[in-house]
Structures are given as C-alpha cells and as structure tokens.
Structure 1
Amino acid sequence: MTGEVPEHGGWQVTAAHVSAEPSPLDTRVWRVVGDPLVRPTGTGPLTRQTVAVKDLYAVAGHPIGAGNPRWLAEARPEPRHAATVAALLAAGAAVRGIARTDELAYSLAGTNSHYGAPPNPQAPHRIPGGSSSGSASAVALGHATIGLGTDTGGSIRVPAAYQGLFGIRTTHGAVDRTGLLPLAPAFDAVGWLTRSPDLLRTVGDVLLPPGSPGGGTELVVVDRLVASAHPDVAAVVRAWTAAAGARTLDVPLDSLDEWRTAFQTCQAFQAWRTHGRWLSENLDALGEDVRSRFAAASRVDDAAAERARAVVEAARTQLRELVADRVLALPSAPSVAPSVSTGATLQDRNATMRLTCLAAVAGLPAVSIPVRTADGLPAGVCLVAGAGRDRELLDLVVEYVEYVEYVEYVEYTER
C-alpha cells in the first residue's frame, strides 16, 4: 500500500496492492488449466482469444484423457499438437486448458460419472449437454472465448442449445482431424463454440479450407422437424424462423425414426471397432450409462451394420436433396436442458438424436444459434447448409442474427 499525507493531516490511500487466493480449479470443467496452458505460436485474427480444448485433441506434452481416469492413466504425453490446435495457436489464440468430455465422447448429456457434470451457468441445476460439455461450460462461464469440440451425433449443437452458445459442426472431413481421438470416423466432425457469431466465423476463417461450392440464401423449414420438439422450443423456433423470413416446405419425412436407428447402429458399430480392443478388458472402467452403450455396441454384427449403412446412405441422398442450395432451419435440440436431478432419459436421447443425426447422416455443416423460450431458458435454432458451404453458412448466420434482432426490435418498439 502506498499513500501521501494531505495538508489537513492523516494518511490518504492512493494505491493498494491486494493479494487474493486464486480460484480453485473446477475439475468438472477442466482436466488441466494454465494461464495460459500453451502460448500462441503466432499472431493473427485470434490474437488475445483463449481456447478450451476438448480432451480428445492432442496437446503437445499432455496425454489425451478421453473423459476416463483409467484411459488417462495409461495414456502417454502427445508428441505434437493436433492439427486444429496448432492452427489456432498459429492464428494467435492461447490454449487456456484441456476441458472435460463425456467418456470417449459417447454421450449427449455431459454428466461424466467420474468427474461430475460441468455447470450450466445459463440454466443452473440443468445438465450442460455433451460430449463437448467442458468446452461449452468454459465458454459459457467466460473462462475461455473459444470451445474446441467435436460433433459426431450432436455433441456441439446440444451443449450450444442448452447453454445459450453459438456452435458449429463442420462438413464431414472439411477440417483436418489429425491428432483427434475418434469415436465413429464416418461421422466425427470438428466443431467449436463461442458466445458471438462473429467470433464463430473468425475461427472458421482460420480452420476451414478456402473456397465454397456456392449456393442460395433461402431459409426453409419443415414443419415435421419443428413439431417434433417440445412446445416451448417449437414456439421459439417458429418465432425466430418467421422473423428471418423462412419458407415452409411440404416434406413428409416419415423415416426419421428409421434414420435415427440406422445412424445409431452405424455409430455403435464404428465405436466398437475403434475402441473395442481396449474396452474388451476395461469395460468396467466406464460409467454405467456409457458402459451400457458400448456393451450394446459390442453386439452389433456385420450384417446389422451393413443393413444400417444402406439406410444411412439412402437417407444421406434424400437429405442432401432436401437441403440442396438452401438453408434448412430446425431445432438444435428438441427440449431445453433436463434437470441435473433427473438427467437425460433414453427417450430424451432418442428424441434429440432424431434431430441431430440429420446433419451427421448427411455430413453437412450445421450451426446452432441461441434463442430463449418464453420461460427464459436457453434453446437453439439449427441452420444446415450444403456440403462445403461452411464459410457461407457462417456469413449467413451473422446476417440472420443481425436481421432477426432488428425485426424483433422494430416489433417491440411498435407495440
């Protein structure tokens, strides 16, 4: 403390140095964290941004933990950064830390049985959504500005919807997955979360390949998809898409449950082929929910996988024809985040997967835009575009968000 003596006598404080105990590491959100953990390797559009890296990506000098203590104990430090991590560092971002994930990314809930559920600051006492739960919570809490995650069947879009964030699942194969621990390689996609559409787009400028196949800007909705959400979520999705000028397409989409089942079968088959050797001796190391999912995956035989693959291929063709050069809007998740006390049921998971598997089946880019229900709870509007149109989609998201905010402002002032 420093000060000076004024003319009337006595001390006047002019500067003070106060030491406070550092806030404890929230192990529900972070596996390891630094200030920063890894410094940038260059300068660029992401200078002064910080990244929460999902614990599936290689960070040089650290093992990949994959959300499981036994996996972490057996893992060796990675010799080099994953391609996406290296690109973010080169663009000026710093790695704040390595964030929690559901075990081997095989969940949409975010309730890791070993480390606990990361908090959902936008909806306290509700689950965060998984499997990119730690990355999402770190961004929602303001501990990082970018959450690097993955999306196989909805693991970016669900936590984005539950926590009021922007999040993108990129076109399958558009972003280099070198150094990323896979789950189901035919569906795994790189994704990220932010609190603003502008930063979401800036990250895309760094990670996405240049160029685009081009396409239109018409926004369309299919009532069957919106109606499959809970009434509170369906209402806000309808309001947002109406404000954005969306046109309704008359498409029956009677095969949603068949597509969802086929996707889950293919995902399970690939997940067991990817991790079955380790799991054969370590299934007991998993939490009950993920363990039961992998146990079921171990029983998917080649014939069942082939039948499911045929359904997925037909669905991919139909979905790509539906989207074409338009932008399809649908709910990012069918409900707001379930409460922590009840958790996500199998019915919740299947209802969610019925919507989220569509972009995964088609391999298309999808962005979740945050909205609020009438009760003030976070939800998401998902925009899906054609393959390779990631950059255009990010541009359109910025434009749509600005336009809808303007329309809502005008309507409010005219009341």
Structure 2
Amino acid sequence: MTTSETSTEKTVWRERGAPLLAPSDSGPLSGLRLAVKDVYAIAGHRVGAGNPDWLAEAELESTHAWAVGALLDAGAEITGIAQTDELTYSLDGVNAHYGTPPNPQAPGHIPGGSSSGPASAVALHETDAGLGTDTAGSIRVPASYCGLYGMRPTHGAVPVTGMLPLAPDFDTVAWLARDAATLARVGDVLLPPADRTREDHGPFRTALVAPDLLAPAVPQVREAFETAAAGLASRLGLRREVRELGGDPAERAESFSVAQAAQVRECDGAWVAAHPGALGAETRRRFVWAEDVGAERVARARESVSATARALRHLLTPGTVLLLPATPGPAPSREAGAEERSAVRRAALQLTCLASGAGLPCLVLPRMTAGGLPVGLCLIAAPGSDHALLNLGVADSRR
C-alpha cells in the first residue's frame, strides 16, 4: 500500500478488519458489509468520536449498541469502525486530526458529515451500507454530497442505546447505501414492524412542494429540483400540490442551532472544558458559541422549534410526502475555507432543521445533479411512515 493509500485509509477508517466483526447469526442481511460510525459501542472496542484524546481515554465496550447488535444478529458483518467529524458536531466531513475522507462521486470535494467515514466507505464500494447518525443532517448531507441513498427515521423509532449522544431531542440512528433495496433491507431490521395493511393500500398519494422552502438552494439546484420533483410524481403516480410553510428559513435554522447547542453543551461541555486544546479550531469555535448561549435565548429557540414542528406536521396530512433538496448545493471543494464551509452549513441547516426539529422521517434519493455533482432529493413524511418511505424509494428506483 502506498503512502497516499495509507493516508486515505486513515481518513475513512479508524479500525478495519476482514471483517472486523463477523455476524452473530445468519439472517436477512447475510453477506452485507457494514461500516459503523465511530460513535457506536462495539464490544471489545473503544468509541473514539473523531477525537484522539477522547479515544485515548475511552474504555473497551462490554456490549454492542442496540443497532449494532441488531444488524449483527441479522447476518451483517462489520468491515470496520469508520471516522466521524469531531464529537459529530459538524456537517462537513472535515476532521482536523484524521483528515477529510474522499468523495469518489465528487473528486476534490468534501464528503459531508458527520457520518463522513461511513458515507465515503459506501461510496468507495468498500462496504455495502453505513451505520451513522443524524441529528441536524449528518446522514442526509453526506448522502446528498456522495450520491447515496440515506435514511433518517422517525425520532425514537430506533433505539439509540449505546450510541454517543450529541443532542438527544434530535439524535437518531441513521443509515445509507448505494441502492434503495439495501437501504430498505437495513430498515426492515432496525425499524419496528410496519403496518403492512396500511402500506399495501399505498400510503402516499400527494407529492407536496413548498416553494418558500427552496430559498437557501442555489439556482442550479432549484432548477434540478423542479425536474426531479415532477419526475418522481410522474413515475409514482402522485398528485403534485403546492403549499407554503411560511416563516423565515434563516430564523428557523438559527432557532434549531440554539436549541441543539444547549443540549450539545449538556452532553459534551464538561469534557471539552476539561480538555483545552483537544479540539480542532472549527469544532472549538462551535463549542465556544454553544457555551455563550443563554437560558432565555434557549427557551425562545425551543418554542420556535416547536412551532415549526406543529406547522410542518399540519402540512403532512396522511398520504402526503414533502419534497425538497437535501442540501442547498453540491459538496464544497476540499480547498474551501472555514468561512465558506460555515456559510454552506448555515444554508444546509435551513433545509435539514425541518425534519430534525419535528422528529420526522426522511429519505434521500440520489436523483439530482448541479454542475455535474450529486445533490440529493429529500422526502419527508409523517411520523411512523418510515417503511412507507423506504418502499417508495425502492419503487422509484425500479422505474
């Protein structure tokens, strides 16, 4: 292996085997190779959370995280523990300690984070699926940037036991794959059993488009979105309906960021304070900002997030799926500076905060491009519509 290949290997994998962990039993996922984000407990291994100091202090885990155990019991094998953005507090896929994983679908561009390692491993065909997390878009953004299928389930649908928390009110187990069928197979293992009677009657009849939600998207993405949304509705026989959510997208994203920051501070603030100099500069700036968020501002932010959630759930009547771009643009260049990436991250939050704040399931389909680079089409549905979304993705991929 060349020095360059070794360097790339370390940006994707913290630890890798052939496999690292064999399946516990045979089952519906037999033969599936899995990359696990470095925030899940794996018995006999440590959780590193994308930070060398955290890893150095971590103890060997005695049991698997719930999601890890469920996938192993279903026949999946763990190829390795994949890298993550520091303490998962980012959407970029850039790690000051381990580097930036490659994005083979957009060479020279970042992969997106914080589930950057699993996304890169799947895009590189080194695994078939990636187990990640999604708090503010950490599966949806890398799925969009890397041209992958991604799933954020209904909040609380999949147990987070044994998963390192960031902001528990918004944290979810999440996963991605190169094809819709594999994504659905993983979902069948992780999600509660579906109401098959309801699904057999076809739960989705309306594809909802809200023009005001497209504000953060760049012109090329808005144009691609119109084509992709019309194509999806046509292929699946969905009626297109135009509605508006209302409100200011930037204010919604800011409120979500503040509400999230308060929980990030509760989860990791003490560790960060006890380890000065342990974080990369960009992650450190986000933690400094989180520490300065006052209680009154947090209370206002939480009310704003709740109001948005109520409005969004009101739009998502039974049989309705909301379509929007997964990200406002394609992946930024690896050469982009911190300020540019920060601006892109703020714009992305205007889209991702919607499902995160309302606890809604969403599916990313690799159905768009902008400037020759992948951008995902995101579908958001009512709580508990997880299997229906995954089935919709499979049906769409066959047409």
Q: Does TM, scored on the shorter chain, surpass 0.5?
A: yes
Tell me the SS of whatever aligns to 1:134.
helix
> Which residue identity does 1:333 align to in structure 2?
T
Question: What is residue 369 of structure 1 aligned with on the other side?
Answer: 365
Cα contact 1:369–1:382 (8 A) shared by 2: yes
Q: Give yes or no for contact 2:106–2:374 (8 Å, CA) kept in 1.
A: yes
CA contact (8 A) 1:225 1:331 kept: no
Where does residue 269 of structure 2 map in the other structure?
276
Q: Give the whole-Å Cα distance in 2 for the aligned partners of 1:90 and 1:240.
A: 37
TM-score by length of 1: 0.89
Question: Matched residues in 1 for 2:323 and 2:177: separation?
Answer: 20
The alpha carbon displacement at 1:45 in A equals 1.1
Distance 2:10 2:373 in 1: 25
Displacement of 1:299 in angstroms is 1.5
Secondary structure of 2:333 counterpart: coil
- Give the number of the structure whose alpha-carbon radius of gyration is greater: 1
Partner of 2:35: 52
Is there any run of 5+ residues in structure 2 with no aligned partner, and where? Answer: 234-238
Partner residue, 1:411: none
8 Å Cα contact 2:262-2:290 kept in structure 1: yes
Question: Percent identical across equivalent pairs?
Answer: 49
Residue in 2 that maps onto 1:301: 294
Change beyond 3 A, Cα 1:372–1:258: closer
Cα distance, 1:247–1:297 mapped onto 2, change above 3 Å: same
Q: 1:354 to 1:374 in 2, by over 3 A?
A: closer
Shift of 1:375: 3.2
Which residue, out of 334, 342, 348, partners 1:346?
Answer: 342
* CA deviation profile, 1:360-384 (whole Å, cap 9, x unmatched): 0110001110134253211100001
1:171 is matched with which residue? Answer: 154
Partner residue in 1 for 2:74:
91
Q: Which one-letter code corresponds to 1:370 in the other structure?
A: P
Residue 236 of structure 2: aligned partner: none
Task: Quote the offset at 1:234 in angstroms.
Answer: 1.6
Tell me the SS of whatever aligns to 1:327.
strand
Paired residue type of 1:211: A
Task: State the secondary structure of the residue aligned to 1:284.
Answer: coil
Q: Could you tell me how far 1:177 is from its partner in structure 2?
A: 0.5
Unaligned runs of 5+ residues in structure 1 are: 1-19, 404-415
1:233-269 CA distance string (max 9 Å, x none): 2222211111122614231522322211111001000
Alignment deviations for residues 59-106 of structure 1 (CA, whole Å, 9 cap, x no partner): 111110000000000000111110000000000000000000000100
Q: 1:218-233 alignment to 2 at 5 Å?
A: 218-233=206-221
1:140 aligned to 123, 128, 136, which one? Answer: 123
Judging changes above 3 Å, is the alpha-carbon distance between structure 1 residues 323 and 49 closer, same or farther for their aligned structure 2 residues? same
**1:358 aligned partner, one-letter code:** L
Task: Give the match for residue 259 of structure 2.
Answer: 266
Task: Give the letter for the 1:329 counterpart.
Answer: L
Q: Name 1:380's counterpart in structure 2.
A: 376
The answer (yes or no) to whether the contact 2:130–2:177 under 8 Å persists in 1 is yes
TM-score between the two structures when normalised by the length of structure 2: 0.93
Q: Does 1:242 align with 2:230?
A: yes
| Residue in 2 that maps onto 1:186 | 169
> Secondary structure of 1:239's partner?
helix
RMSD of aligned C-alpha atoms?
A: 1.7
Tell me the amino acid that sits aligned with residue 257 of structure 2: Q
Shift in Å at residue 391 of structure 1?
A: 0.5
Change (3 A) 1:104 1:353: same
**How many angstroms does 1:341 deviate by?**
0.4
- Aligned to 1:244, what secondary structure does the other structure show? helix
For the 8 Å contact 1:53–1:147, the answer to whether it is kept is yes
What amino acid is aligned across from residue 159 of structure 1 in structure 2?
P
Question: 1:250, 1:316 → 2: CA distance?
Answer: 16
Instruction: Check the 8 A contact 2:65/2:161 in 1, yes or no.
Output: yes
The answer to whether the Cα contact below 8 Å between 1:200 and 1:394 also exists between their aligned partners in 2 is yes
Counterpart among 53, 58, 76 of residue 75 in structure 1: 58
User: 1:365·1:386 contact (CA, 8 Å) conserved in 2?
Assistant: yes
Aligned twin of 1:315: 308
Q: Is the 8 A contact 2:145 2:376 kept in 1?
A: yes
